[in-house]
Structure 1
C-alpha cells in the first residue's frame, strides 16, 4: 500500500477530489527544463483555458510519492493526474514495448504503440486510471566510465538499468545490472557502485554526462512515459472538459516526443564537444543481440501468462518481426 504521502498533501488531495475542476498533478521529473516537464506545463496551461480545469503541477520529489508508486497514487486519488515513466510495476503488461531489441526505430515504435493502445487503456483502467496519452524518450544507449567499442566490453561491469528487461540485456553480455533511482546515479558513479547507465543523451545523460566519458551508440530499447488521470476525477469533469483534455494530451504528447528527439541531437553534439567519446554500434552487434534476445521475448511472455503472449504477438505482427 502507498503510505508515504505527507499530511499536507493528503489534505490537498482530499480537496482535489471534492472539486474536480481543481486538480493536483505530479511528474517524476525534477528538472523544469526537460522536455518532459515543459510538455506537462503546456498541458496544464492549456487545460486552464480550453478545459476550464485548474491543475497544480508538482515536480519530482516535491511530493512524497516514490517513482514506482506514481500510477498507484493516481489510482488512489492522491493526485488527479501524472506523467509516469516508472509505470511498469503497476502495469507490467506495458513493458512489452520496452523489451530489448524488439522495437528498433521510430517507425516501428509508432506501429507497435498504436497496436497496443487499446490493451494499454484497459490495463490502466484496471488500476483506476484513465490513460490519456504518452510521450517517448529517444533510444536508450550505453553510457560508461570505461571504453566500449562493442557489446563484448560490457562483460564484468556494473550497469544501472531501469527495468528487469534492461537488466536481462546487460546480463546477456556478461554485465551486472543494478537498479537505482536517478538521484543515486551521480554518487554511485563517483564511488564505482556502477560503471555505466542505459539512458538517452537527452535523458539521464543530460544531467550525468560529466561522470560518463564514453557513449556506445547502441539502441538497447525505448522508454516512454504515460500521461494518466484518476478515473473518478476524470469522470467528474463535464463531457466537454473531458474531450478538451484528451485533445490537449493527444497534441502535447507527440510534441514532447519530438522535442526529446530534437534535444537528443543537441545533447549528443554538446557532450561530444565537452569531451565525451561517442562510438557507433559495431558491425554485427545489432543482429547478434537481436538473435540472443529473441528467445527472451518469448520466455518473458510465456512466464507472465496468456495476456502477455497475446501482447507480444500483437507487437510483432504490427512491426513485422
Structure 2
C-alpha cells in the first residue's frame, strides 16, 4: 500500500507540467545520511538545482517495509524511479560490488573518497549489468567500527565472539580474525546485543550513536573493520534512458552537488565527533549519556589485521567476483590504495 501510494503521489503532485517527478526510495530513515542529506536534497533542493526540471516524492526503504537487499531488484523492475541502499546489502546479487567497500584500506575521508571515485566506473557497469539501473552517485556512511558488550582489550579478544558484520566481506574478515560472523539486520542489533544473541556488532560510529547502540554495549573498537558502507544512489535504467542527454546530465550534476558532496564534506571530522559522543567526551556537540570505553588498536593490531585482509579476505573475494572484476579492481581501487590482488 505504501509503495502504491508513493508511485501514485509522484504522478499527482508534480509542481509543473514540464517537470519530471521522481518516486525516490532512500536509505535508513533514522540515520543522518537520510535525515540531513537525502531528505533536504530530494524534498527541497532538487528543483532549484535542476531549474525545476525535476521534482521528487521521497520515502525510505525501512518506512516502506522493504529490506535493504531488495531495493535494487525492485528498482530494476521499475517499481520506483530512484533507489538508494548500502552496496554491501546487495552483494548476494552482485558479489563484485564487495570491492567498493574493503575493510581497513581507508582510515581517512580523503582515502575513502579516493577509493569510491576510483571504483565509480566499475560500480556503474555493475549497476547496469546486475540491476538494469544507472548509477547517479555514491555517498558515505561514517567508518564502520565495532560495538561490543563487555570489555575488549585487543583485536585478539574478538576471537570466539559472535559478531554482526556490516557486509559479506566484513563478515569474512571477522571470521578470519577468529570471530563467528552473524547475519542480523541493523534494526535488530540493539535487542540482540541486550539479549546476548551477539557479543559485538559493526556499524558506522554515527549510525550506532543515532540508533542508541551505546545503551546496550560497553566498548568501541576504533578501527574501520567494516570499511565505510557506501550508499549507491541509482535510477531505473529505462526511466533514465528516456530522459534526453541534457536532462540526464542535469540530474547527475544535481545529485553530485546537492547530495554527494555535502555528505562527503560532513564526513570530514565526523568520526572524531561521534567517537566523542559515544564516549561522553565534552567535545560532543550534543548532550549525551553515552560513556563507552574507547579501544584504540595498536600498531601490531593493525598490522595483523591488514595481513589477514591481504592473504585471506581479498583472495576469497577474488574467487567469488571472478577474474574480470578483480582485474578492474586492481586497475582502479587497487591503484588508488597501492594494493594488487593476485590472480
- Relative to the length of structure 2, the TM-score reads 0.84
Q: How does 1:271-290 map to 2 (within 5 A)?
A: 271-273=278-280, 274-290=290-306
Pairwise CA distance, 1:72: 1.1
CA contact (8 A) 1:21 1:54 kept: yes
Distance 2:132 2:167 in 1: 23
Of 9, 12, 15, the residue aligned with 2:3 is 9
Query: Does 2:144 match 1:145?
Result: no
Q: Is the 8 A contact 2:33 2:141 kept in 1?
A: no
Deviates more, 1:122-131 or 1:104-113: 104-113
Residue in 2 aligned with 1:164? 168
Residue 46 (structure 1) aligns with: 45
In the alignment, structure 1 residue 308 sits paired with structure 2 residue 325: yes
Q: Deviations over 1:133-186 (max 9, x none)?
A: 111122211110021121100011111112121111211222111111111111
Shift in Å, 1:67: 1.0
Counting matched residue pairs gives 314
1:9 CA displacement: 2.1
1:120 corresponds to 2:123: yes
Q: Deviations over 1:281-309 (max 9, x none)?
A: 12311111111221221232134311232
Paired position in structure 2 for 1:230: 236
Q: Would you say the 8 A contact 2:105–2:337 is kept in 1?
A: no
Alpha carbons of structure 1 residues 72 and 95: separation in structure 2 relative to 1, 3 Å:
same
Aligned-residue offset at 1:121: 0.9
CA RMSD in angstroms, aligned pairs only: 2.3
Q: How many Å apart are 1:249 and its aligned residue? A: 1.1
> Relative contact order (alpha carbons < 8 A, sep ≥ 6): 1 or 2 greater?
1
Residue 319 (1) aligns with residue 337 (2):
yes
Q: Using the alignment, how far apart are the partners of 1:67 and 1:57 within structure 2?
A: 16
What secondary structure is seen at the aligned counterpart in 1 of 2:299?
coil
Check if 1:217 corresponds to 2:222.
yes
Give the Cα–Cα distance (whole angstroms) in 2 for the partners of residues 185 and 222 of structure 1.
18
Structure 1 unaligned runs (5+)?
1-5
Of residues 96, 101, 108, the one that matches 2:99 is: 96
- Residue number in structure 1 paired with 2:189: 185
Match in the other structure for 2:63: 62
CA contact (8 A) 1:36 1:256 kept: no
Q: Flag the 1:205–1:308 CA change in 2: closer, same or farther, 3 A.
A: farther
On the 8 A contact 2:165/2:183 being kept in 1, the answer is yes
Deviation, structure 1 residue 192? 0.5
Q: Structure 1 residues 12, 289: CA separation in 2 closer, same or farther (over 3 Å shift)?
A: closer
Q: Decide whether the 8 Å contact of 1:142 with 1:199 is kept in 2.
A: yes
Task: Find the aligned partners of 2:34 and 2:29 in 1 and give their Cα distance.
Answer: 10
Cα distance, 1:118 vs structure 2: 1.3
Alignment of 1:221-300 (within 5 A): 221-251=227-257, 252-273=259-280, 274-296=290-312, 297-300=314-317
For residues 61 and 121 of structure 2, what CA distance do their matches in structure 1 show?
28
Instruction: State how far apart, in whole Å, the 2-side matches of 1:43 and 1:316 are.
Output: 32
Q: Which runs of 4+ in 1 moved over 6 A?
A: 17-20
After superposition, the C-alpha distances for 1:75-112 in whole angstroms (9 at most, x for unaligned) are 11111112211233333212112223344443333333
- Taking a change above 3 Å as real, the CA distance of residues 39 and 89 of structure 1, as seen in their structure-2 partners, is farther
